[in-house]
A = this chain, B = another copy of it.
Amino acid sequence: MKPQAAFFEQLGPAGMVSLGQVIRYASDAGLLVITDGKRNDIGSTATAYAKAYLGAGDASPWGSDSLTVSPYLGRDSLEPFVDVCDERAAGVFVLVKTSNPGGGLLQDRVTDGQTIYARVAELVQELNQGRIGESGYGPIGAVVGATYPEQLAEMRAAMPTSWILIPGFGAQGGTAKDVIAGFDDAGMGAIVNNSRNLIFAHRRDEYSQKYGESRWQDAVSAATDEMNAVLATRIS
């Protein structure tokens, strides 16, 4: 479950109280929670964000398992998150290559034969070293958009021990064919994010007549099953 912090913050302090309740509800239901906050800062401030969001149950005040973080401030801005991941068995997803058209402005720039996003991937891979679990993956993951399938394949190879969170599927145009490059040979290693298409499934043509507004939960369930079926066909 990946709540988008911004949509709660848009409602002010009361919205943030709701975010806390949503995270606790999902966590109590046994779901892993990725708080999508794209936070980061330097030094003690990065540590404050890490301690805020990382740690399920009572280990952190928000209680989420994971957080999305921005890399613009460099390695020393990411290390406090790594430290807290070690302490609390949590994880982070570092923005590597984002799904929006404008993401390339900085991320695709090439210096010394390497794009900025590839340099960030290298950093993610470095930070994950010595932290690989039984699954073959470590706590330092990456965000790579579904809208750039070629870069997704490149990034899967560059970060063989990192979970890749893949936004941009569905509403942003990414298809099942586009995201397969994010998975490893065993069909592991990627988390496909399809927020709007699932949350608002009852407004999609194929579900609106069948379920309508009142049965939105059934529409979400049907849309999720459909997405999983499409992904399973592609990955197997």
Using CB atoms and an 8 Å cutoff, list the residues of chain A in contact with chain B.
4, 6-7, 9-17, 19-20, 36, 38-43, 45-46, 48-49, 51-53, 60-62, 70-77, 95, 98-107, 109-112, 116, 119-120, 123
Known contacts A11-B61, A71-B106: does B6 contact A52 (CB below 8 Å)? yes
- State in angstroms the CA–CA spacing of A119 and B106 once bound together: 8
Provide 9 A-B residue pairs closer than 8 Å at the C-beta atoms, listed in order of the A residue: A6-B41, A12-B60, A13-B16, A36-B41, A73-B98, A74-B98, A77-B100, A106-B116, A109-B116
Smallest CB–CB gap between A6 and chain B, Å? 4
**How many copies of the polypeptide does the oligomer hold?**
2
What residues of chain B lie closer than 8 Å to A103, measured between beta carbons?
Answer: 42, 73-74, 77
The reply to whether B17 and A17 form a contact with Cβ atoms under 8 Å apart is yes
Which B residue's beta carbon lies closest to that of A12?
B61
- Most B Cβ at <10 Å: residue of A48, A60, A73, A98: A73
Beyond known contacts A11-B52, A109-B109: 11 more, CB 8 A cutoff: A9-B52, A11-B61, A12-B62, A38-B39, A38-B40, A42-B102, A71-B72, A72-B98, A77-B102, A106-B116, A109-B119
Selected from B16, B62, B76, B102, the residue in CB contact (under 8 A) with A102 is: B76
What residues of chain B lie closer than 8 Å to A74, measured between beta carbons?
Answer: 98, 100, 102-107
- State in angstroms the CA–CA spacing of A98 and B45 once bound together: 13
Smallest CB–CB gap between A60 and chain B, Å? 8
Which B residue's beta carbon lies closest to that of A104?
B74
Selected from B9, B19, B40, B110, the residue in CB contact (under 8 A) with A111 is: B110
The reply to whether A95 and B119 form a contact with Cβ atoms under 8 Å apart is no
Selected from B45, B75, B102, B111, the residue in CB contact (under 8 A) with A109 is: B111
What residues of chain B lie closer than 8 Å to A107, measured between beta carbons?
Answer: 72, 74
The reply to whether A13 and B6 form a contact with Cβ atoms under 8 Å apart is no
Known contacts A70-B72, A110-B111: does B100 contact A9 (CB below 8 Å)? no
What residues of chain B lie closer than 8 Å to A95, measured between beta carbons?
Answer: 72-73
